[in-house]
Amino acid sequence: MYSSYMMQPLIPIKLSYSSFSLIIFLSSPLLLGHHGQARIILPEGVTVPAIIAFGDSIVDQGANNNLKTVVKANFPPYGQDFPAGIPTGRFSNNKTPADMIAEELGVKEILPAFLDPSIDDTEFLTGVSFASAGSGYDPQTPKTADVLSFDDQLNQFKEYIEKLKGMVGVERTQFILENSFFLVVAGSDDLANTYFTVGIRRLEYDVPSYADLMVSSASNIIQDIYKLGARRIAVFGAPPIGCLPSQRTLAGGGLRACAEEYNEAAQIYNSKLQPETEYLNSTLAQSRIVYIDIYNPLLAIIENPLQYGIEVVDRGCCGTGNIEVAILCNKLLPTCPDDSKYLFWDSYHPTNKGYTILVNQVLGKYVDDIF
C-alpha cells in the first residue's frame, strides 16, 4: 500500500551551507500517542468515525513523497520499525501521532495521506491526513520549502468532502465531519525556520508581532474547517523548539544547550494561541475547539528523561544526531543500536518511543474537553 521509493542520499557530514538550507524546511516534534495498551475510554454515546489531520511533518503521513521538495522521509532509515520496515514518508522510525491517535481512539491502526496514490476509497470514511512536512501558518513557510500550504490542504479537504458525499451521501458526510476528531499541528517551522534560521521575517516583525501573524492565520484556518463541517478540533501549541537537537547545534553554543530565545518565542506564541482557541470555542456554535499544550510535557521529558525511561534527549538516533534530518538522515549513516533509549529519531522528530510516552498526559488529559 505504501510507496517505498528510494531517494538517492546526500551525505554532507559537515555543517555546511547545504545543511543550513535543508534545516530551514523541517518541522518540529511534539509528543503524543500511546499504542499497545488500553485505548482511551470515550464518554458514553460518543462516536469518532474518523481522524482528520492538517499541518506539518508531525502528522505528514507521506504527502510530500511525490512533491518536488527535499523535505521527504520516504527512504531508509526512516520507517525501519514500521510494519514490514517500509519507509512511508513519515518522519519517524515508525508511526506518527496521527496513527497513534487513530489507533488509540479505536478508529484504525494507520492513518493514510490523502495524496497516497494507493489509498483504498474505503479509507476515506475513517479519515486521512492533509499535512505536509515543512508547512506552517505563515504563508512564507511552505513557499520556502516547496510544500503544501494550508490553502492547499484546505482545498484537498474540500475534495475529500466531495468524495465522501459521492460515497455515502450528504447526511452521512455531515455526520462524519461533525463527529470526527480534527488535528491541527503547525507553527514550529514558522518560528524555528522562517523566523530564526532563515530570518526573513525578523526584518519585519519582532517575536510578539510575528506570533500575532501566526495566531491570526491559525484562527482563520480553524474557522475555515469549522465552516466546512468540523466541530471537534485539537489545536497544538509549539514545543520548546530551542531544545530540538538541531536547534541546540545551531543556536545553543558550544555546549549545545537549549536555545532559550527560541523557547521564549514558542512560549509567547502559545500564550497568544491558547486564548484565541478558547475564544473560538466559546463563539462557534456546537464546537469543541481545544488548545493542546505540548510545550510543558515535552520539556518535562527533556529535563527528567530517566523518569520516562529515556536516556538521550540532546541528539537524535540517526547519524551524529546533532543535525541529520530528511536527506541528511539516510541509509549510508549509522543509527543508534537502541532507539528506545532516545527521545529523538533525527535532529527534529521523536522516536516511536518518544511519541508514545505522553498519551495519558496529553490525549488523556484533554479527552473530556474534546468529546
Q: Please give the Cα distance from 261 to 329 (Å, whole number).
A: 27
Q: Please give the Cα distance from 204 to 27 (Å, whole number).
A: 22
> Do the beta carbons of residue 270 and residue 238 sit within 8 Å?
yes
Q: What is the 3-state secondary structure (H, E, C) of 279-315?
A: HHHHHCCCCEEEEECCHHHHHHHHHCHHHHCCCEEEE
For residue 150, give the C-alpha cell: 494550508
DSSP state of 123: G
Q: Which residues contact 115 (CB under 8 A, 6 or more apart)?
A: 62, 63, 65, 66, 156
Q: Which of 55, 45, 105, 51 is nearest to 363 (CA)?
A: 105
Q: What is the 3-state secondary structure (H, E, C) of 343-362?
A: EECCCCCECHHHHHCCCCCC
Q: Which residues contact 182 (CB under 8 A, 6 or more apart)?
A: 52, 53, 54, 225, 230, 232, 233, 234
Catalytic member of 27, 92, 180, 349: 349
Q: Which residues contact 31 (CB under 8 A, 6 or more apart)?
A: 97, 239, 294, 297, 298, 301, 350, 354, 355, 357, 358, 362
Q: Which of 219, 195, 233, 208 is nearest to 275 (CA)?
A: 219
Catalytic member of 60, 189, 293, 346: 346
Report the residue count for the chain: 371
57 given a catalytic annotation: yes
Angle at 23 (CA atoms; ends 296, 139), nearest 5 degrees: 80
How far from each other are the two terminal CA atoms of the chain, in whole angstroms?
Answer: 32
Side chain identity at residue 308, one-letter code: Y
346 given a catalytic annotation: yes
For residue 281, give the C-alpha cell: 470555542
DSSP state of 25: T
Catalytic member of 19, 57, 92, 246: 57
Q: Which residues contact 190 (CB under 8 A, 6 or more apart)?
A: 136, 137, 138, 141, 210, 214
21 given a catalytic annotation: no
Q: Would you please indicate which residues are annotated as catalytic (active-site) residues?
A: 57, 346, 349
